[in-house]
Structure 1
Amino acid sequence: MLEQARQQVADFLQQIKFARRVSEHTVNNYQRDLKRLSSFCDKHMISDWVALSSADILKHIAERHRAGLCSKSLQRELSAIRSFYLFLMKTGQADNNPAQHVKAPKQARKLPKTLDVDQVSALLDAGTNSVLELRDVAMFELFYSSGLRLNELSSLNLADIDVYDKQLTVVKGKGGKTRLLPVGSKAIQALQKWLKARPAVNENERALFTSTQGKRLGNRSIQLRLKQWCIKKGIPESVHPHMLRHSFATHLLETSQDLRAVQELLGHENISTTQIYTHLDFQHLAEVYDRSHPRAKKSSK
């Protein structure tokens, strides 16, 4: 590219560093991203920035994608290019932003790992040897029984649990919404054992799950206790709270095929989130299709 084009990049990087006070890390990323775009221009004999079209930007992003760059990195590169062209437009050096409407390929959403029913049983039926393990099993049972998020479980108070009606109230879950959830018999039994043994060190503490000092157990502590439990009980799988929530949703959906009910239990605002979060194998979907679609049913002769 022409020397003027290189100077424009240098001016832009100076502007975002000192006028906008962006981090050194961001400046370095933008510099790399624009250097790659400059190499693309040299390769295709484009001498200055105003000669670059939206089609060129799209071609550049497509080449980067074929080279193995993930969607998130491509989005960052596009952000750098857009910011650069906004600078050129504000300084009267360009009339349009060719990257404005170019989009990166969508990131494939990875499903979290799940445990099968036997693995869950091995995790929860491993036996307890102390008051803290009674508490821990009650927590893990509740994760799997009601599909709670980590923050929802750590925020539970004694008043939120009704062991007689086998239900709990999530007060201000994600999005500030409250929901009433059923609690399974195994979880109720585990909760009753914990509540009987729960240390009354701090009578003013309302938290359902407390530490040995009588204080509310935090998210990080719950994660560590689950990790330690798996190590102690010889469970090879690396289990985390979200995996228990996902296993809850998957097992329930596989048995009931009731997507709306699972959506409500998980506290998802949109059913599309539940469709991504849970999964049915293709064989089951094919069976539902063959059984339900009026033009898919085999005719009897």
Structure 2
Amino acid sequence: MSNEAQKAVNLFLDYMRGEKWASSHTVANYSRDLARLQKFCAERDLKCWRLIRNTDVRQFVAFRHKSGIGANSIRRELAAIRSFFRFLLKKQLVDQNPAQGVQAPKVSKKLPKTLDVDQVAGMLNVKPDSVLEIRDLAMFELFYSSGLRLSELVMLENVDLSLSEGFLRVRYGKGGKQRQVPVGSKAIKAIQQWLACRPECESPALFVSARGVRLGQRSVQLRLEKWCRKNGLAEHIHPHMLRHSFASHLLESSQDIRAVQELLGHADVSTTQIYTHLDFQHLANVYDKAHPRAKRSKAEQ
């Protein structure tokens, strides 16, 4: 495609960073998604964005699907393309949004994996034996206590904490949205123990390495894997599983989906509703085990 087409992409990415406060991860994804669309269009001699029509976007989706790309990935790419063309419309660089109305292949919804309360207790009721493990336990307690995303946890700074009042401020939530979330007593205690031995450094980050550098997302994932291996936890546990467990356990006890939506920072309650399916699954399991007419014989199974 032309240099002008690339300039439009760069302008959009700058807009996402500067005005929409999109994370570097989101911007990188958008950049890759639009690069794929550019390559597809260039191969069809579509040199500028004004030439793209609804049929072209549909063909792009079909091409990606035939290439074996999963429905979730295509859905994300379409969302990026729609956002891009909405931006171009506002800037009067195109006269239509060709991605409007284009549907991605249907996604089979998978329920997120969660831990039960006993599994969480087994994971967190462990005495740390080093400064780094004190830090790690504080991170893991906070994931489960406050339902944080991995990206939100690594962006936390000391000034975001109000432990005396029992809450923290999430300043870098999804889509740049801020929220306040409560912090449980176990997490408060773990964080206080970490702050007492946190290395002195210039970084404002709450969680830093032994060298005083803000921890990255991959570092947190690796520390969790190491923690699980050391403590004999058979199941593969990732940070988001603790967020899922937070939401599932809270909804199971409170039945207040709106409150759980607020705490998770979901823009739409439909995103939170997946945890109602988890809750029903739990009830169904209880029913199968407890109801005298629900139990099936081994022959029936």
Fold match, TM over 0.5?
A: yes
How far has the Cα of 1:162 moved from its partner?
Answer: 1.2
How far has the Cα of 1:170 moved from its partner?
Answer: 0.3
Task: Decide whether aligned partners of structure 1 residues 132 and 19 sit closer, same or farther in structure 2, where only a CA change above 3 A counts.
Answer: same
Render the CA deviation track for 1:190-231: whole Å, top value 9, x for unaligned.
00100001111x2x2100000000010111100110011001
Which amino acid counterpart does residue 19 of structure 1 have in structure 2?
A: D
Partner of 2:189: 189
8 Å CA contact retained: 2:65, 2:71: no
Structure 1: state its 5+ residue gaps.
1-12, 35-68, 80-99, 286-301
Partner of 1:121: 121
Partner of 2:279: 280
Which amino acid counterpart does residue 213 of structure 1 have in structure 2?
A: R
User: 1:255 and 2:281 equivalent?
Assistant: no
How far has the Cα of 1:106 moved from its partner?
Answer: 2.2
Taking the aligned partners of 2:221 and 2:40, their CA distance within structure 1 comes to 43
Taking the aligned partners of 1:283 and 1:18, their CA distance within structure 2 comes to 51
Partner of 1:151: 151
- The correspondence for 2:205, drawn from 204, 207, 224, is 207
How big is the alpha-carbon RMSD for the aligned residues of Structure 1 and Structure 2? 3.4
Task: Decide whether aligned partners of structure 1 residues 210 and 117 sit closer, same or farther in structure 2, where only a CA change above 3 A counts.
Answer: same
Taking the aligned partners of 2:65 and 2:120, their CA distance within structure 1 comes to 47
Task: Decide whether aligned partners of structure 1 residues 15 and 193 sit closer, same or farther in structure 2, where only a CA change above 3 A counts.
Answer: closer
8 Å CA contact retained: 1:71, 1:104: no
Partner of 2:222: 224
Partner of 2:45: 19
Render the CA deviation track for 1:69-121: whole Å, top value 9, x for unaligned.
99729x79xx9xxxxxxxxxxxxxxxxxxxx9896662122122100000000
Structure 2: state its 5+ residue gaps.
1-38, 48-58, 79-99, 285-301
8 Å CA contact retained: 1:146, 1:265: yes
User: 1:131 and 2:157 equivalent?
Assistant: no
- Given the two structures, how large is their TM-score scaled by the length of structure 2? 0.62
Taking the aligned partners of 1:244 and 1:166, their CA distance within structure 2 comes to 20
Task: Decide whether aligned partners of structure 1 residues 16 and 150 sit closer, same or farther in structure 2, where only a CA change above 3 A counts.
Answer: same
How far has the Cα of 1:163 moved from its partner?
Answer: 1.4
Which amino acid counterpart does residue 110 of structure 1 have in structure 2?
A: K
Taking the aligned partners of 2:139 and 2:282, their CA distance within structure 1 comes to 34
Task: Decide whether aligned partners of structure 1 residues 104 and 206 sit closer, same or farther in structure 2, where only a CA change above 3 A counts.
Answer: closer
- Given the two structures, how large is their TM-score scaled by the length of structure 1? 0.62
Q: Mark the structure with the bigger radius of gyration.
A: 1
Taking the aligned partners of 1:32 and 1:128, their CA distance within structure 2 comes to 47
Render the CA deviation track for 1:155-213: whole Å, top value 9, x for unaligned.
0000101111111000131111111111000000100100001111x2x2100000000
How far has the Cα of 1:141 moved from its partner?
Answer: 0.1
How far has the Cα of 1:19 moved from its partner?
Answer: 3.0
The secondary structure found in structure 1 opposite 2:274 is: helix
Which amino acid counterpart does residue 177 of structure 1 have in structure 2?
A: K
Query: Which 4+ stretches in 1 moved above 6 angstroms?
Result: none
The secondary structure found in structure 1 opposite 2:153 is: helix
Which amino acid counterpart does residue 186 of structure 1 have in structure 2?
A: K
8 Å CA contact retained: 1:70, 1:107: no
How far has the Cα of 1:150 moved from its partner?
Answer: 0.3
Task: Decide whether aligned partners of structure 1 residues 181 and 283 sit closer, same or farther in structure 2, where only a CA change above 3 A counts.
Answer: closer
Alignment of 1:223-242 (within 5 A): 223-242=221-240
How far has the Cα of 1:263 moved from its partner?
Answer: 0.4
Partner of 2:171: 171
